[in-house]
Structure 1
């Protein structure tokens, strides 16, 4: 498995995962249909939107429908000959801090039919290298208390549990764990 930049040669695999019910944003199930529509309307524009180092894209829609400012960031796709999942990095320039509405520097999601192969662990390791290149000295990653697989991935990279917290009402008022990984 390797990380690839979103590009035309991989797009059919991404669409296939969306068609099978996978969604990069688990908090917004409708996002899969939204992405399929965006790809159908303009595949090149969709692909370009996934790498936005200057935060020029549209605001981010929260699970409750409110919108917040976009942060600089990008997404990479996990690829083993076919699409395996997505991992993304976001940051605020000049600081390791994130706004309260942002649940971590890195988020990842492996398609169900490719889970338990170590792909998330390898993808996180590669993304940590990219995060260091962006000037971050540490990243935070959040996960649910019952997401033991994600906790294992984070621990494999030296993640330290910093706190248990409750997300904003706009994010569903969910209990989460916040981890730090020093780069």
Structure 2
């Protein structure tokens, strides 16, 4: 059964295959995947190098951790089924002016080969208690105005549309634990 886990080196082969799928589909999570490929792509080839990448992700979550200039602390979760990497979701611990307008607290992606199976909705639903544990009563989640699948995911998790800014739909989602029919 699919579940959220902390990034873990044991998923290296499946993770690398998923990142290749995203790159082939020209999907780079804004510039996140392009940045990761530049900084860590060579590391992904070996178990030891991939473990360094996972440690860097863990470091980004700490207030004093290393991360790109202007980035806020953020925690990554991977969505896996057995040893298969299905997607990833990030919870940004606070908002900057840019994130308030365009990025939000949460960003997610499901690998192309695993789409249209409800994984994105499950990931968003399942990460909300983690956001709540960070002290976030509600989270801002955005998507492009023409991204109907993502809009449906957010609305399916109780997202309430606030407005549209710069081509982004901006939704607020309660970070209270939601279960059941969502």
Task: Name the TM tier (shorter chain).
Answer: 0.7 to 0.9
> Which residue of structure 2 lines up, in the alignment, with residue 7 of structure 1?
8
Q: Are 2:143 and 2:170, in contact at CA under 8 Å, matched by a contact in 1?
A: yes
CA-CA distance at 1:150 after TM superposition:
0.6
Quick one: distance in 2 between partners of 1:53 and 1:20? 26
Quick one: distance in 1 between partners of 2:76 and 2:57? 6
In the alignment, which of 15, 36, 44 is matched to residue 39 of structure 1?
44
Q: Does 1:50 align with 2:47?
A: no
Quick one: distance in 2 between partners of 1:24 and 1:109? 9
The TM-score, its normalising length taken from structure 1, stands at: 0.80
Q: Does 1:101 align with 2:98?
A: yes
Residue aligned with 1:76, SS: strand
- Give the total of aligned pairs: 162
> Which residue of structure 2 lines up, in the alignment, with residue 95 of structure 1?
none
> Which residue of structure 2 lines up, in the alignment, with residue 141 of structure 1?
141
Residue aligned with 1:158, SS: coil
| 1:26-175 alignment runs, 5 A limit | 26-28=29-31, 30-31=34-35, 33-34=37-38, 35-40=40-45, 42-51=49-58, 52-55=60-63, 56-59=65-68, 68-81=69-82, 82-92=84-94, 98-102=95-99, 103-166=103-166, 175=167
Greater mean deviation of Cα atoms: 23-32 or 75-84 = 23-32
Q: Are 2:163 and 2:169, in contact at CA under 8 Å, matched by a contact in 1?
A: yes
- Higher share in helix: 2
Residue aligned with 1:101, SS: helix
Q: Does 1:25 align with 2:28?
A: yes
CA-CA distance at 1:50 after TM superposition:
1.5
| Structure 1: runs of 5+ lacking an equivalent | 60-67, 93-97, 167-174
Q: Which whole-Å deviations, capped at 9, do the CAs of 1:67-86 have from their partners, x for residues lacking one?
A: x4221111111112311111
| RMSD of Structure 2 on Structure 1 (CA) | 2.0
| Structure 2: runs of 5+ lacking an equivalent | 176-182
Q: Are 2:104 and 2:141, in contact at CA under 8 Å, matched by a contact in 1?
A: yes
